A and B are shown apart, each in its own frame.
Chain A
Amino acid sequence: MSRSRSIEVYLGELRRELAGGRRFKRRVLSEVEDHLREGARHEREGGVPDAEAERRVIERFGSPRLIASRFAEDLAGGGARAAARAMLLAMFGVVVLRFLPSPALGELLGMPANGFFEPPGPWPGDDLPPHLRPAIDVAQFAFLAALGAGAFAFWHARRHGRGARLPRGELRVVVSATMLALAAFAASGVADTVFMFHRAAAVPGSPSPLVHAIFATVRALITVAGGYFVVRAVLRLCSLRRLGPN
């Protein structure tokens, strides 16, 4: 029997090549082992000797690197889809928090009834400090850029159909667009928070800094949650590069 290509050796190689959690690996290895042993049994029933039966079934199965690479590609595709979805949800969450507070919640927190977006009154003397103008511009344009990049990534990931395989080129596009969305989203959040705190201090009747601090914290948490999915998608894409083309 060729020890170097026995089922045990094959499973050991596959274990080393597979990327993913322990539970995932256990399940994959268990399924693969069942497949290989079942295949070898069928070969033996046809009169093929043990060693040859294992060699044949392993050859038909494909190399450990190929199988690991296909798993990594599908995991990366799932990760890219999840990241694009998470970023869109994060933006939706911020829009809801920022622009659509319910009148009852607004009253409770001392917000203006029309939400944060509309100022409760003009800046004193109607004179917005010039150094805050870039903050407003960055907040608005970066948010629009994040929304555009996030929507593009989501559409791109979904256009192949539900659960369909994402080719590597498409994967890179989706992950890059999602990273761009995350960066723009974070920049928009920082600029918006800076502006809000200045306005709270300058415009009478603005929600208190505490309300802004809570809002900024929630926004930061939403960004971190979206970032988690994006980082995971990037790592999965990197693990694909390690396995090379398939």
Chain B
Amino acid sequence: MRGEALRGHLDLLLLAAVRARPAHGYAIIENLRLRSGGNLNLPEGTVYPALHRLERAGLLKSRWSEASGRRRRTYEVTERGLTELRAQEQDWREFSRAVEGVLEGST
């Protein structure tokens, strides 16, 4: 999955990636790559503007921490972010079921 299609679902993926535990940008991308079996292919740097936007919207919060002598920004999901995640998750599942139904019916 790449390009605009992936970009349209990036918010959902990022919120899901930090649902279990706070993580920094690199770990979030690694998490997405591993959990998708390497199928999510986007320029890694484009994740940061999305993380900043979600933080400005109050769906994520972040703080600096120190690791290996470097400052690192760690993101975690807020209560409002969890609510948004659940709503987007529900939308995605309905959409996915609908597409699946159409595709199966066409074979």
A112 at interface by CB-CB < 8 Å: no
From the candidates B26, B53, B70, name the one contacting A39 in the complex (CB within 8 A): B26
CB distance from A74 to the nearest CB of B (A): 4
CB distance from B88 to the nearest CB of A (A): 8
| Residues 14 to 52 of chain B near chain A (Cβ within 8 Å) | 24-26, 29, 43-46, 48-50, 52
* Chain B residues within 8 Å of chain A by Cβ, number: 27
Q: Is there an interface contact between A163 and B25, defined as CB atoms closer than 8 Å?
A: no
Q: Is there an interface contact between A66 and B53, defined as CB atoms closer than 8 Å?
A: no
Describe B's contact surface by its main secondary structure: helix
A113 at interface by CB-CB < 8 Å: no
Q: Is there an interface contact between A162 and B84, defined as CB atoms closer than 8 Å?
A: yes
Q: In the complex, A33→B53 CA distance in Å?
A: 19
A34 at interface by CB-CB < 8 Å: yes
Q: Is there an interface contact between B57 and A163, defined as CB atoms closer than 8 Å?
A: yes
Chain A residues contacting B71 (CB-CB under 8 Å) are 30, 34
Chain B residues contacting A31 (CB-CB under 8 Å) are 24-25, 48, 72-73
Q: In the complex, A235→B80 CA distance in Å?
A: 30
From the candidates A38, A60, A74, A163, name the one contacting B49 in the complex (CB within 8 A): A74
CB distance from A17 to the nearest CB of B (A): 11
Q: A62-B43, A164-B11 are in contact. Are A78 and B48 (CB under 8 A)?
A: no
A32 at interface by CB-CB < 8 Å: yes
* CB-based nearest A residue for B55: A163
Instruction: Give 1 or 0 for each of A154-195: 1 = CB within 8 Å of chain B CB.
Output: 000000011111000000000000000000000000000000
A70 at interface by CB-CB < 8 Å: yes
**Chain A positions near chain B (C-beta within 8 angstroms):** 27-28, 30-35, 37-39, 60-63, 66-67, 70-71, 73-74, 77-78, 161-165
A sample of 12 more A-B contacts (CB under 8 A), given A31-B25, A37-B70, is A28-B48, A38-B26, A39-B44, A61-B44, A61-B45, A62-B43, A62-B44, A66-B43, A162-B58, A162-B59, A165-B10, A165-B50
